[in-house]
Amino acid sequence: MSFSSLIKAALLTAVLAHCQRPPANYDEAKVPKYTLPDPLVLLNGSPVKDAKTWTERRRPEILELFRNHVYGRSPARPKAMTFELLSLDPQALGGTAVRKQVEINFTGAKDGPRMTLLVYLPAAAKDRRSPVFLGLSFSPNHAVSADPGILLGDVWVKGQKQPAAERSRGSGAAHWPIQTILARGYGVALAYYFTIEPDFDGGEKYGVRPSFPGFDWGAIGAWAWGLSRAMDYLETDPGVDPHRVIVHGHSRLGKTALWAGAQDTRFAMVISNDSGEGGAALSRRRFGETVADLNQRFPHWFSHNYRKYNGREDDLPVDQHMLLALIAPRPLYVASATEDLWADPRGEFLSLVAAGPVYRLLGKRDLETDRMPAPDHPIQTDVAYHLRTGPHDINAWDWDQYLDFAVKHLPPAR
């Protein structure tokens, strides 16, 4: 068979596979009846009645279930990992910020995988340690701000890495209101998620996973692992308060932030923006995106075991409310958008509601309602939820809510 014939056959197979998938359900009347696994019942059937049993027995059980069935297992911190300060500017952004750029070499090897962490800290903090929002960016570091001091990174075009153009500076700044965050007393730390692993099927060979053979983990596991490695650095930065690092993410990176926060309790707060299926939304609702959609469209994101649950969500020993429960008792914010039905806003809300018993067990306030709020009317207790008017996105209004929530729970030192 010729090369062109092979391509045609592959395209035909993909089209047929897409056509064979049932259409997405956007009708609440068609949501099937489902029963959620109880986060407060041990695998042996015994109830969890106190914080000690949750912390020492049930939480580890749930974490292992997610590792075995959904996200996969990640390696520990590499002993040979190194940090190198690439640049330091104490008068960045017109004197409002201290800017650092730090290379994290994951293995310490000369040609090993690495990422560059861009850090802004409020200059007004002076000798005080600042709380920090940590996240991964969909665009290279130089695109999150027009700051000319940010090192130009690489971009991926059709599976090929190439140097970025100068004109791309600041092209992704809308998602990162850095000046607003700094003005509220918080720092920002971010890295381009492609530097941990490129986000396409086959991108694994260009990322961190080949350096750690023997682990069945997907790209989301790798990106979450990268966030923990960024946290390793932030613990060493004298300008950062390591006890007030907030991990957040949007869309697939919202899934990543949740999994990072579930595994790594050093993150003091977790924020999930429009994370949907495989993130905050309940899988058993089969509303919008499904497990099969995830595994067929993004086969590199999750562990191989997760594919067993295509069309079999009820067989999963977990659902996403249990992922949210793993973040308790730390503050957690879940957000949705009215036009983002693919991410199942109601499923995200109900997932947070179903995580509530764990927060209450640990002495924290849950949402204190099972009625979904009106658009643009946040609920904020020790957990928070909002439904923003608009499409799948993260914008300035979302950030205002996250900053308000952070000020309540992790305020900057004065």
Would you name the residues annotated as active-site residues? 251, 392
Q: Collapse the DSSP code of 299 into the 3-class scheme (helix H, G, I; strand E, B; otherwise coil) and give the result.
A: coil
* d(C-alpha 336, C-alpha 29), whole Å: 20
Say if residues 275 and 340 touch (Cβ distance below 8 Å).
no
Cβ atoms of residues 83 and 50 within 8 Å: no
* Nearest-angstrom CA–CA distance, 98 and 120: 6
- Which pair of tokens denotes residue 43? 């695998």
Strands of 82-91's sheet in order across: 82-91, 97-105, 114-122, 187-192, 130-137, 240-250, 269-273, 332-337, 383-388, 379-380
Going by C-alpha positions, the residue among 90, 26, 113, 82 that lies closest to residue 233 is 82
Residue 41 CB neighbour total at 10 angstroms:
13
CB 403 within 8 A of CB 181: yes
